[in-house]
Amino acid sequence: MRVAAVFLLVLLAGCATAPEPAAPARRNADTLNARGAELHRAGDLNGAARLFEQAQVQSQAIEYEDGIAQSLLNLARTRHAQGQAGEADAVLAKMLDGVPLAYIPARRAEALAQRTVLALARGDQPAATRWHEEARQACGKDCALQATLLNLGARIALERGDAPDARRQAQTALPQHRAAHNRIETANALRLIGAAALAQGDRQAATRALEEALAIDKALAHSNKICQDLVLLGHAADSPERRGYWQRALQVAGAAGMRRQQAELQARLDSLPSSPSTTSP
């Protein structure tokens, strides 16, 4: 009897200290998501989308909730990066409006934040405000997405013309992003601070924030963000320097195959007064 009791205690202790490893199907889904994220960072958006779709199917087959959520969120980001905003919205709808599953609050908040980004991209301010508020409610006080939601709040404030509120929210978010070593969101916060300072007529503060954002975006090799930084720096500069910033942005957009941005930048350059070097004597 005493031997059996000791054996049982040892068995229970072993179970407590050596948790069962994740099932192979879960590991496979996680691996597909990780490989897809690598392809996305490398610029292979089609390849990334295929892997995220495979991860979603594998996760769905075993009702692996976090795998499903991660796959759909990754796929929505990829579709948006491919310029397929409608497809991205449809992917998010599977998570937010489809069959209810036990997603953790942070995943739901992340999906709502992505919906906010899509609404801002199409200029739907009321929808962006609504989804942003729902994301904040889903996130709660201790959610890791808090600082990102502050950045989104700053974007919404800029869209409605409230530069002081935009600057306040972005400045609140900035140290949180730095502490988390999140360079992408750090650059986003700096860009928002720069845009808000520019709207307030504070060109010196705008230039400081935007130059730091540009340095980060160049290190991360984010062409679209580099163009945004250079355009805003052009607005913060005097007329002769403005042309130089916008010409740099045009070169980046052209080399990156960003045709819409290329056309917009060319229109900006065409709107500038002719420089002395291009005028006839």
The owner of tokens 């963000």 is 225
Q: State the pTM of this model.
A: 0.83
Q: CA of 181: how far to CAs of 164, 174, 184, 229, in Å? A: 26, 11, 9, 20
Classify residue 126 by burial, with Cβ atoms within 10 Å: 0-12, 13-18, 19+: exposed
- Taking the alpha carbons at both ends of the chain, their separation in whole angstroms is 109
- For residue 141, the model assigns a pLDDT of 76
Q: CA of 5: how far to CAs of 2, 12, 46, in Å? A: 5, 11, 58
pLDDT at 232 over 60: yes
Length reported for the chain = 281
Average pLDDT, rounded, for the chain: 89
Mean predicted confidence (pLDDT) in 157-170: 97
- State the amino acid at position 233 in one-letter form: L
Q: Are the CB atoms for 227 and 261 separated by under 8 Å?
A: yes
Encoded tokens for 96: 């937010």
C-alpha closest to that of 78 among 120, 35, 109, 108: 35
DSSP 238: -
Condensed to tens digits (0 to 9), the pLDDT of residues 27-57 reads: 999 999 999 999 998 889 999 999 999 999 9
Q: Measure the CA dihedral 24/25/26/30, to 10°.
A: 100
